[in-house]
Structures are given as structure tokens and as C-alpha cells.
Amino acid sequence: MRQFKSVSPIGSGDINAIPVRDIAPAVEFYTRVLGFSTVIQDAKSASLKRDDVQIGLVVQAGHDPRRAGSFYFDVADPVALHLELQGNGGKPGAMGMQDHQGKRYRLFFLRECDMIESHDGYCFCFGQPA
């Protein structure tokens, strides 16, 4: 099943240039935990893909994890993804319902800082309209 349908930043941010401090551990997190595949990678950047979603990571020396943003992933089945991420070593939060711009969503959050000590500070929201 194609799980990832789209991605958008929550607030400001660029899904094609997500700042990270070090490319290798960032790629490891996105591939091992979130299930992305590496499209291309060099010492300063990487392009990753999963289903219909492609993101870019770029090394930014001054990246401050306390100022990192958040991203919303529209997914086909949040319950199945929650279980998958747990199986991949992730620590997703509880499944819940939230209203946003007049729509109700079933969703959950996952934060890098809950899993890895040297993190980039991002919070990910996975959901679908209810």
C-alpha cells in the first residue's frame, strides 16, 4: 500500500531543503525509522523518497534544533503507519483527532528528540481527514 500521499511544512519551511546538522545520521533516521529510500546523497545533501513524497535534506552548520520546524504528512492509513513506525524503532505519540481549518483529522505525532540524542529537532505529524 502506498502510505505517504503528500507533505507540507507546518508554518515556514522548505520540504526540498530541510536543514540538518550532519547528513549521515539524518539520512539514517529518515530511512530506518520513517521508511524513506535514498534517491541521491552526497556529503552536504540528500534527496529521499517514499511513495508520492520526496524531501530534501541539506547540511546547515548553524542549524539549531530548538528552532526546527514541523511537517505534516498526509497518509493513507495512520493506524497502520503508527504500528509500522513502532516496529522501526520509532516512538509515535498517541493517535488522536484534531480539527484544522474546518476539517477533522485522525493523526499522531513523532518527534526526533524522543528517539535520538543527536537530533535535528523536527516534529512530524502523520494524519488523514477523518
84's enclosing H/E stretch is helix 78-87
pTM attached to this predicted model: 0.94
Q: Is residue 119 within 8 Å of residue 113, measured between CB atoms? A: yes
Q: What is the CATH number of the domain that holds 66?
A: 3.10.180.10
* Residue 8 confidence (pLDDT): 96
Instruction: Find where cell 547540511 sits.
Output: 59
> Model confidence at 117, in pLDDT bands (50, 70, 90)?
confident
- Between 17 and 1, the higher pLDDT residue: 17
Question: From CA 28, how far away is CA 36, in angstroms rounded?
Answer: 9
Q: Which residues contact 94 (CB under 8 A, 6 or more apart)?
A: 108
What is the phi/psi pair of residue 13, to 5°? 150, 160
Instruction: Find where cell 534517491 sits.
Output: 39
Question: From CA 59, how far away is CA 51, in angstroms rounded?
Answer: 24
Looking at the structure of the chain, the number of domains it has is: 1
Q: Which domain holds residue 87?
A: 4-129
Compute the chain's Rg from CA coordinates: 14
Could you read off the pLDDT of 47-69 as tens digits, one per residue? Answer: 999 999 999 999 998 999 999 99
> Model confidence at 1, in pLDDT bands (50, 70, 90)?
confident
